[in-house]
């Protein structure tokens, strides 16, 4: 098949952990690469953010990233991207027409891309497969008190996609339930496809690997180390970990513990200084280090250097960081939300924490940090658990979903008019 993937708001080639780049980028790049390896032709359309990128980037045989000019290269905030939907869609249409491209399926990622995919589906008369990755209604129900709520406009756009996409792809059954509960989705039009991890890259480290990684990162060889990897935003919960660590030192000031937070600023608290100030105010500046985001080849060393990886997110559609950490043999302490109960085997490969109270997180971290035998056993079990998730298997399931979508009937005009008349949105309070 020839597949058009739409990832408007962020390129799969961007460094995860910076700005809006994160697990979605990892997902798009790895699934597209595996689909190409399976013999399909994949074009990923994204918005150009630098003139030096060029229009086409050949990633590997069968996989290209096509940069579409839509609005200024720089200075356009994520909240302003809806103003460029028409320009972006027009650019995709023009590129495909000028190069005589015909696609068998469209796979859109995130709601902005979904709106473009919805239009292209009708223009090209091919099925639309959509992956939301995150949902406004779900984020609002889980967000912290300090986090900015998602807009009603976004929720309405997501509702349109739920109603009109040929197939919705989700990471877990929990996401299926969320789509049904918040968006009245038809379960027969939802396919659960678990993401994966690059288990050839993320591998368990030997004691020599760990020592080398700690020397390179400037971490004491004999200290306990807790790592956080992800965007520095309230929704990902770095503040939860920081406050929990403060509780640990309140209980035992002599505890030999170091914390590493690896990620770039993102979201409403878009200045990493916000978290650095929090660390200083809590007296942790000698215990906590901040690292810039790094490519996967370097991220392996951080996972291997850590005794525990913390994932205190308020929600995760799956939790790729958790799987990557476990693949390296590092147990995970994670919030019991979203797809994390699937990514982490509670009590076997890590610990799931209810809620985000610093006291509860301090208890969970202390229990694992102070029990070397259990922590090591969990690390060993984590490797086998992570091997259950692979990008090749994910791509194979996507291929099956694409074929399924191609067999589904296109929605007729009468159904489209009912939605446009507002009947559906009145039901949801929109």
Is there a binding annotation on residue 40?
A: no
- CA 46 to mean position of chain CA atoms: 17
pLDDT tens, 11-27? 999 987 776 778 899 99
Is there a binding annotation on residue 400?
A: no
Which comes out higher in pLDDT, residue 255 or 421? Answer: 255
pTM to 2 decimal places? 0.82
Is there a binding annotation on residue 9?
A: yes
H or E segment at 56? strand 56-60
Structure letter (DSSP) for residue 384: H
Q: Residue 303 burial (CB < 10 Å; 0-12/13-18/19+)?
A: buried
Give the pLDDT band (50/70/90) at residue 417: very low
Give the pLDDT band (50/70/90) at residue 420: very low
Residue 309 has pLDDT above 50, yes or no: yes
Percentages helix, strand, coil for the chain (3-state, rounded to 5) are 45, 15, 35
- CA 224 to mean position of chain CA atoms: 27
CB 78 within 8 A of CB 90: no
How far is it, in rounded angstroms, from Cα 197 to Cα 175? 19
Residue 172 has pLDDT above 80, yes or no: yes
Is there a binding annotation on residue 22?
A: yes
The pLDDT of residue 53: 87
The vertex-423 CA angle with 422 and 424, nearest 5°, equals 95
pLDDT tens, 218-263? 999 999 999 999 989 898 999 999 999 999 999 999 999 999 999 9
Is there a binding annotation on residue 264?
A: no
State both tokens at 163: 């109603």
Is there a binding annotation on residue 399?
A: no
Is there a binding annotation on residue 134?
A: yes
CB 346 within 8 A of CB 274: no
Is there a binding annotation on residue 139?
A: no
Alpha helices in 314-422 (DSSP H): 320-327, 340-343, 358-369, 372-386, 391-407, 413-420
Is there a binding annotation on residue 12?
A: no
Is there a binding annotation on residue 294?
A: yes
Is there a binding annotation on residue 293?
A: no
Domain 2-196+392-427 adopts which CATH fold? Rossmann fold (3.40.50)
- Coil vs helix vs strand at 197: strand
How far is it, in rounded angstroms, from Cα 391 to Cα 34? 7
> Are 2-196+392-427 and 207-386 the same fold in CATH?
yes
Is there a binding annotation on residue 110?
A: yes
Strands 332-335 and 350-353, by their bridges, are: parallel
Domain boundaries, the chain: 2-196+392-427, 207-386
Query: For the sheet containing 105-109, what is the strand order?
Result: 56-60, 63-68, 41-47, 2-6, 105-109, 128-131, 167-170, 190-192
How far is it, in rounded angstroms, from Cα 97 to Cα 340? 42
Is there a binding annotation on residue 119?
A: no
- Residue tagged 């995709």 (tokens): 92
- Coil vs helix vs strand at 127: coil
Give the pLDDT band (50/70/90) at residue 411: low
pLDDT tens, 102-156? 999 999 999 999 999 999 999 999 999 999 999 999 999 988 777 789 999 999 9
Is there a binding annotation on residue 328?
A: no
Is there a binding annotation on residue 304?
A: yes
H or E segment at 170? strand 167-170
How far is it, in rounded angstroms, from Cα 387 to Cα 394? 12
Is there a binding annotation on residue 154?
A: yes
User: Which CATH entry fits the domain spanning 207-386: 3.30.479.30, 3.50.7.10, 3.50.50.60, 3.40.50.2000?
Assistant: 3.40.50.2000
Q: What is the dihedral of CA 371, 372, 377, 383, to 10 degrees?
A: 110
Give the pLDDT band (50/70/90) at residue 52: confident
Is there a binding annotation on residue 231?
A: yes
CB 50 within 8 A of CB 57: no
State both tokens at 148: 């900015």
Is there a binding annotation on residue 316?
A: yes
């Amino acid at each position: 098949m020839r597949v058009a993937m739409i990832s408007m708001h962020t390129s799969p080639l961007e460094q995860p952990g910076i700005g809006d780049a994160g697990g979605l980028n990892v997902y798009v790049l790895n699934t597209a690469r595996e689909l190409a390896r399976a013999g399909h032709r994949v074009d990923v359309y994204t918005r150009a953010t630098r003139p030096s990128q060029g229009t086409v980037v050949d990633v590997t045989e069968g996989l290209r990233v096509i940069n579409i000019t839509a609005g200024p290269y720089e200075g356009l905030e994520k909240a302003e991207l809806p103003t460029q939907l028409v320009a972006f869609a027009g650019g995709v249409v023009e590129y495909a027409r000028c190069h005589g491209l015909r696609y068998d399926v469209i796979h859109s990622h995130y709601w902005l891309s979904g709106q473009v995919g919805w239009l292209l589906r009708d223009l090209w008369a091919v099925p639309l497969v959509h992956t939301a990755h995150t949902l406004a209604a779900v984020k609002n129900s889980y967000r912290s008190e300090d986090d900015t709520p998602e807009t009603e406009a976004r929720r309405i756009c997501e509702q349109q996609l739920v109603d009109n996409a040929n197939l919705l792809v989700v990471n877990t059954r929990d996401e299926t339930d969320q789509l049904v509960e918040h968006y009245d989705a038809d379960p027969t039009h939802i396919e659960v496809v678990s993401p994966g991890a690059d288990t050839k890259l993320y591998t368990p480290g030997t004691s020599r690997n760990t020592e080398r990684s700690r020397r390179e990162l400037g971490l004491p060889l004999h200290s306990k180390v807790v790592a956080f990897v992800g965007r520095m935003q309230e929704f990902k919960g770095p503040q939860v970990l920081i406050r929990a660590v403060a509780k640990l030192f309140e209980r035992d000031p002599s505890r030999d513990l170091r914390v590493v937070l690896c990620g770039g600023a993102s979201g409403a608290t878009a200045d990493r200084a916000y978290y650095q100030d929090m660390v200083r105010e809590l007296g942790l500046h000698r215990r906590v280090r901040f690292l810039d985001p790094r490519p996967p080849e370097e991220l392996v060393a951080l996972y291997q250097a850590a005794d525990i990886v913390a994932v205190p997110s308020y929600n995760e559609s799956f939790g790729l960081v958790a799987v990557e950490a476990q693949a390296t043999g590092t147990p995970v302490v994670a919030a019991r939300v979203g797809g994390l109960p699937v990514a982490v085997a509670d009590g076997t490969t890590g610990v799931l924490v209810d809620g985000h109270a610093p006291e509860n997180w301090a208890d969970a971290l202390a229990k694992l940090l102070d029990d070397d035998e259990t922590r090591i056993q969990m690390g060993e079990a984590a490797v086998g658990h992570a091997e259950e998730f692979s990008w090749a298997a994910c791509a194979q399931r996507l291929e099956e979903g694409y074929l399924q979508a191609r067999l589904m009937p296109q929605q007729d005009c009468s159904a489209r008019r009912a939605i446009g008349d507002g009947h559906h949105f009145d039901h949801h309070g929109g």
